[in-house]
Structure 1
Amino acid sequence: MKTYRIEKPKIVIIGGGTGLPVILKALRNESADITAIVTVADDGGSSGSLREMIKVAPPGDLRNVLVSLSDMPKLYEDLFQYRFKKEDEFLADHSVGNLIIAALSEMRGSTYEAIQILSKIMHVEGHVYPVSEEPLTLHAKFKDGTLLSGESKIAKARKPIDHVFVTNSENNELPKASRKVVNAIEEADMVILGPGSLYTSILPNLMIGEIGEAICRTAAEVIYVCNIMTQKGETEHFSDAEHIQVIHNHLGQEFVNTVIVNDQEVPSEYLNASDDADKLDQVTHDQVGLEEEGCSIISTDLIQLRDGGVYHDGEKVVDEIFKLLKVKRS
C-alpha cells in the first residue's frame, strides 16, 4: 500500500509589534510550515537601550515571536517574559528574554545565530528570522518636507508621513536581508503582512531592497491583514484602502492580492479611550478603493475585546487564511 504525504503549506508572516504574535500563536495550532520575519528597527524601551549599550539588534519583537511559537511550560514562558520593576535601577523595565537574547547575540557575535539557538531550546514550531542581521534605523520623510530618524520618535511627531526608509544603524548604508529570508518568501505559498503599525512595523521590512523585490515577484498569495484601529501619528483617519495605497506606493507597484478586513463595529467606549492611547478610531472600509488597488477582499468580524483594548482575534484571522488557502489549492 502506498502512503502519500500532504505537504504543509509554507506560510511566511512579516511584521513586528504586538499584532504578529497574536496571529502566530493561532497559526501554530494549524498544520503549516511557518516562517516569521521580524523587524529590527525598534529603538525604544528595553530594546532601544540594549541596542545602544551592546550594539545588538533590538530583541523585543523577536522575544515575543519566539514565545508565540514555543511550546515551553508556562513557568518558563513567564520567566522569559518577566520584566524587572521600575525601581530595580539598572535592570528597570528590562525583560529576562531581552537580556538572554542580547547575551547570546554577544556570545555568538550574531543575533541571527542567537535566535536559531533559542528556537531549538524553546521548541519553537517553525522558523524565526530577524529581517536583517544588523540593527536598522527607520527614517520618515514627512509631507511638509522634514525628516526624522528613529522608530520611537516618528509617531510622536504627529505629522502626515510621505514615506519611510531604513538604513544600517552601524554604517548608515543600505541594509541587507538576513540569510534564508529571501528564499522563504520566494518559496512560500502565502506571505502575510500584518497586522501591525503600518509605518513602523510593516514597511521597515519591505524597505530592504531584496525583500521588497522578493515580495513583488513571489508566486505566493500576498495577504495584508488590515489594522482594526487607526494609530496616532501614523494612520489617523485612514481607511483600509489608504493602508494598501501606502504599501503599494512604497514599492512602486500593486502586489497585495488579498486584504482581510474587519467589518464589525467597534463599541463606542473603545474609541479614543484615553489621551495617551496610540489607537484612535476604527479604520473605515473603502470597498471601491481596495478594488482599485487590485485586491480581493475578505471582510468579517475579527474583533477581540480584552484588557480595555481592541485586538485581532487570532483564531478568526487564521480561519480566514486557511479558507483562502483551501480555495487556492482546489
Structure 2
Amino acid sequence: MAYGENKIVRVIKGRRPKIVVIGGGTGLPVILNALKEQNAEITAIVTVADDGGSSGAIRNYINVVPPGDIRNVLVSLSDIPQAEKEIFQYRFNSSDNFFAGHAIGNLIIAALNEMRGNIFDAVQALSKMMHVDGRIFPASNEPLTLNAEFVDGTIQAGETEITSKDKRIKRVWVTDSDSDQTPEAVLPVLAAIMQADAVVLGPGSLFTSILPNLMIPNLGQAVRETKAEVIYICNIMTQQGETDHFTAADHVRVINEHLGGHYIDTALVNGAQIDMSKFNPADYDAYLEPVTMDFKGLREQDCRVITSDFIDQHSGLVFHDGKKVADEILNLAFEAYSRRKQES
C-alpha cells in the first residue's frame, strides 16, 4: 500500500487548501495530524526558542536549535509505520546516565544539523527520510533566546526562567543566541505565509510557543501582510505563569498588541463545559481553569468568533479535538480563497 492512499481528498479548484500552522508545544501535533487526514497542504512553522528538557540540554551541549517541538511535528506529519515512529520518539530512562531523558529523535536531529550545517536543511532531509506529508520549517535557522518584561518592570531571559518566575508577563521578544544580529526567518517560511489560504496560530503556550515566532521581525511582518485568514486557536485552559485568569479576548489582545494592530481575523474558542471533577489536583499547576469567553472584548478587536465544542476530554486532561478544529480551519481557508479570487 502506498503511503497516504486512504486520505480524504479536499481541493480548492484542483489544488489542496494551503494551511500554515505556526507554534510549538504538545497541542500543535494534534491539529497537524487532523489537517493531514483532511488532505490539506500543510506547512508547519515551529518555534526554536525552547530551552527546557532534552531540547535545552542538547542546545547547551552542541549549540543547536532545540529539536523537541520539531521532533513531535515530524512524527505527526510522517507516513512511516507506527513502530518506527515509536523508535524515533523513544526517550532513554534515568538509569542511562549519559543519555538520560534524551529522545532518540532529538539526537538524530542534532546529528543531521551538524552534518548539513544548519537546522533548516537538516529538517528537510529528515522530512524526506520520514515520508512527511507537508513541509516543516524551523521559524529561524539560528537558536533564539526568549526575553520577557513583566508587569513589574523586571526583565528575564530564557523560556524556563521566564515561566518559573510565576509573574504576569507584559511583553516578549527574541534575540539571536549567538550574535547581535536581528533574528530572521528564511525565505521559504515567508513565502509559505504569503501564499497560504489560512495562517493558524496555536494551540500552544501563548508567550512561549506562539509569540516567539511572531517576534521574529520578518516573520511577524509576513503575518501582518498576508491575505490569508489569520486564525487563532484559543487554549482551552489557562496556564500558570503565562495566562492566569485570561479570557479568550485577553489571548487575542496580547497577540494583537505584539503585532501592533488587529491582525487576528478569527478566533476558535471552546464553548463546551469542562468537567473539572476529572482533573487530578496534581495537574492544577499546569491547568488552572477553563478559558472564559468575552464576546465584547473580541468584537472590539475586530475578531470574528467561532465557538463550539472543540474539546476531547480524557485521562483527566483536556485536549483539542483535532478533527473538529481542522474542519473549521478548512472552511475558513475555502472562504479566504474565494474572497481573494473575487477581489483579484
Aligned to 1:29: 37
Structure 1 position 270, deviation (Å): 4.4
Pairing 1:1-150 to 2, within 5 Å after superposition: 6-150=14-158
Return the alpha-carbon distance in structure 1 between the equivalents of residues 337 and 216 of structure 2: 30
Return the alpha-carbon distance in structure 1 between the equivalents of residues 191 and 336 of structure 2: 21
Q: 2:159 aligns with which of 131, 136, 151?
A: 151
Q: 1:181 aligns with which of 170, 185, 189?
A: 189
Structure 1 position 151, deviation (Å): 0.7
DSSP 3-state at the match of 1:87: coil
Contact 2:229/2:332 (8 A) holds in 1: no
Return the alpha-carbon distance in structure 1 between the equivalents of residues 273 and 146 of structure 2: 33
Structure 1 position 326, deviation (Å): 3.6
Supply the AA of the counterpart residue of 1:297.
V
DSSP 3-state at the match of 2:238: strand
DSSP 3-state at the match of 1:125: coil
Structure 1 position 309, deviation (Å): 0.9
Contact 2:92/2:103 (8 A) holds in 1: yes
Return the alpha-carbon distance in structure 2 between the equivalents of residues 212 and 328 of structure 1: 20
Supply the AA of the counterpart residue of 1:36.
A
Return the alpha-carbon distance in structure 2 between the equivalents of residues 131 and 117 of structure 1: 17
Aligned to 2:312: 304
Aligned to 1:209: 217
Aligned to 1:195: 203
Return the alpha-carbon distance in structure 1 between the equivalents of residues 107 and 330 of structure 2: 36
Q: Could you list the per-position Cα deviations for residues 153-174 of structure 1 after superposition, in whole angstroms to 9, with x for gaps in the alignment?
A: 2111111111000000011432
Structure 1 residues 155 and 220: alpha-carbon distance in aligned structure 2, compared to 1, 3 A threshold: same
Return the alpha-carbon distance in structure 2 between the equivalents of residues 175 and 328 of structure 1: 30
DSSP 3-state at the match of 1:282: coil
Structure 1 position 258, deviation (Å): 0.4
Contact 1:272/1:280 (8 A) holds in 2: no
Return the alpha-carbon distance in structure 2 between the equivalents of residues 173 and 281 of structure 1: 40
Return the alpha-carbon distance in structure 2 between the equivalents of residues 263 and 89 of structure 1: 46
Structure 1 position 152, deviation (Å): 1.2
Return the alpha-carbon distance in structure 1 between the equivalents of residues 199 and 87 of structure 2: 32
Structure 1 position 319, deviation (Å): 1.3
Pairing 1:279-290 to 2, within 5 Å after superposition: 279-290=287-298
Return the alpha-carbon distance in structure 2 between the equivalents of residues 280 and 203 of structure 1: 21
* Percentage of identical aligned residues: 54
Supply the AA of the counterpart residue of 1:140.
A
Aligned to 1:161: 169
Q: 2:322 aligns with which of 311, 314, 321?
A: 314
Return the alpha-carbon distance in structure 2 between the equivalents of residues 273 and 302 of structure 1: 23
Aligned to 2:4: none
Runs of 4+ in 1 over 6 A off after TM superposition: none
**RMSD over aligned Cα atoms:** 1.4
Structure 1 position 328, deviation (Å): 3.9
DSSP 3-state at the match of 1:34: strand
DSSP 3-state at the match of 2:246: coil
Unaligned runs of 5+ in 2: 1-11, 339-344
**Which shows bigger deviation, 73-82 or 271-280?**
271-280
Structure 1 position 268, deviation (Å): 1.9
Structure 1 residues 141 and 270: alpha-carbon distance in aligned structure 2, compared to 1, 3 A threshold: farther
Contact 2:198/2:332 (8 A) holds in 1: no
TM-score, with normalisation over the residues of structure 2? Answer: 0.92
Structure 1 position 248, deviation (Å): 0.5
Return the alpha-carbon distance in structure 1 between the equivalents of residues 283 and 226 of structure 2: 42
Aligned to 2:6: none
Unaligned runs of 5+ in 1: none
Structure 1 position 5, deviation (Å): 6.1
TM-score, with normalisation over the residues of structure 1? Answer: 0.96
Aligned to 1:260: 268
